[in-house]
Amino acid sequence: MKTKKQISGWKDKILFTPGPLTTSQTVKQAMLRDLGSRDSEFIGSVKDIRHKLVELGQADTDEYTTVLMQGSGTFGLEAVVSSTVPPDGKLLVIINGAYGKRLVKIASILKIDTVTLEYPENTTPDLREIENTLKTDKDITNVSVVHCETTTGIINPIREIGEFVVKSGAKYFVDAMSSFGAVPVNLAECNIDYLVSSANKCIEGMPGFSFVLCKLNSLKETVGYARSLSFDLLSQYQGLEKNGQFRFTPPTHVLAAFRQALAELEAEGGVPGRAERYRKNYETLIAGMRQMGFREYIRPEDQGYIITSFLYPDDPNFSFEKFYESLNQKDYVIYPGKVSDANCFRIGNIGRIFEADIKALLAAIRETIAEMGVKLK
Ligand SMILES: Cc1ncc(COP(=O)(O)O)c(C=O)c1O
């Protein structure tokens, strides 16, 4: 059997990042075909992908649908914000990290009336405050929150927030970019109207499109809400329903890879199977990092198994740039921190990586720390 090195002609680095992620050879190989956007095989594959994504959200296709959107994850978020808030609507954004802030930025460029509830990056949102805000501010028409705040790896309580949102009559939008496919979610039980994720996160496809899981009744109410042509979620849905085609050139190769990625997810035991592998990766990582003396930024009870933020060691010999570069030379790619009040770096557990890869990374970190002369305890 050919090794990874022989097939690609170069040695792939292992990506311990929140995306782009390490993907399987078979997912990459699925792209090696040209398919026309009006080809019946392509149209059938798009239909299948849309259907399977609804199933991954534990929902029924009578109640929910999938709208595929060209571009990275942010394009999907922008599609929801720009085309599901009514022209005179008001958006509440719950923030505890950079991706919550990005939603506010999108809304502000679109000149959408926005209120925020902002919490420290290492803290989950205050549910009582959210409940009270929704009870008192009757102008709020839409509420958004990030599921796994990839800034830190914290997991936000989307089910509890959804209960308050549905009682208030507002529409509920969850950015589940880095969690969908690996953290189980039941769309209907969480009262979600719109959920966004993208091809190259926990489903382990290629980057190039995002998808929006939409509650059909809510989507159909959005006639005339869209603030732009390409991000018009309802028109994109109507186009896909009419003839199975995208309105504009689809990422055909990326969709072919995604179909293969979905088959590999199913073979792994679906969302529970993938969750188990990522959780194992996480537990191995945490145990090894703690043993070396590293400390996490988030309390273990709030931390998900997607990505972890570690505090810089308290030693003047530590330099993140040198640490990163040395690991990179050893073919392991980690990620810089994103929190505003502490010096951290991040290590992701998602993508086509296994416990053996995590153990190899831990060995490389141990070696690098020794090379740098950093003392951790
Ligand atoms: C929670 C969350 N939201 C939004 C994004 C932005 O996605 P993209 O970089 O694909 O546009 C990311 C990317 O990691 C994310 O983790």
Report the mean per-residue pLDDT for the chain: 96
% of residues, the chain, pLDDT over 90: 95
The rounded distance, in Å, linking the Cα atoms of 371 and 200 is 34
Rounded distance from Cα 6 to ligand 1 centre (Å): 32
pLDDT digits (tens, 9 = 90+) for 115-141: 999 999 999 999 999 999 999 999 999
Give start-end residues of each CATH 3.40.640.10 domain in the chain.
Answer: 26-266
Residue 144 has pLDDT above 60, yes or no: yes
Rounded distance from Cα 98 to ligand 1 centre (Å): 10
Other CB atoms within 10 A of residue 321 CB: 8
Other CB atoms within 10 A of residue 244 CB: 17
Supply the pTM of this predicted model.
0.96
pLDDT level of residue 179 (50, 70, 90 thresholds):
very high
Q: Distance between alpha carbon 92 and the CA centroid of its chain, in Å?
A: 20
The predicted structure's pLDDT at residue 10: 65
Q: What dihedral angle (degrees, nearest 10) is formed by the CA atoms of 201, 203, 204, 206?
A: -80
Q: What residues line ligand 1, using a CB cutoff of 6 Å?
A: 18-19, 72-74, 99, 146, 150, 175, 177-178, 198
Q: May I ask the CATH class of domain 4-21+270-372? A: alpha beta
Pocket test for ligand 1, best of 15, 17, 69, 74 (most atoms within 8 A of CB): 74
Residue 249 has pLDDT above 50, yes or no: yes
Of the candidates 319, 318, 332, the one whose C-alpha atom is nearest the C-alpha of residue 285 is 332
Pairing verdict, β 194-198 and 209-215: antiparallel
Out of 3-12, 35-44, 115-124, pick the least confident.
3-12
pLDDT digits (tens, 9 = 90+) for 355-367: 999 999 999 999 9
CATH architecture of 26-266: 3-Layer(aba) Sandwich (3.40)
The predicted structure's pLDDT at residue 11: 74
Rounded distance from Cα 135 to ligand 1 centre (Å): 30
Residue 213 has, within 13 A of its CA and on its CB side, a CA count of 33
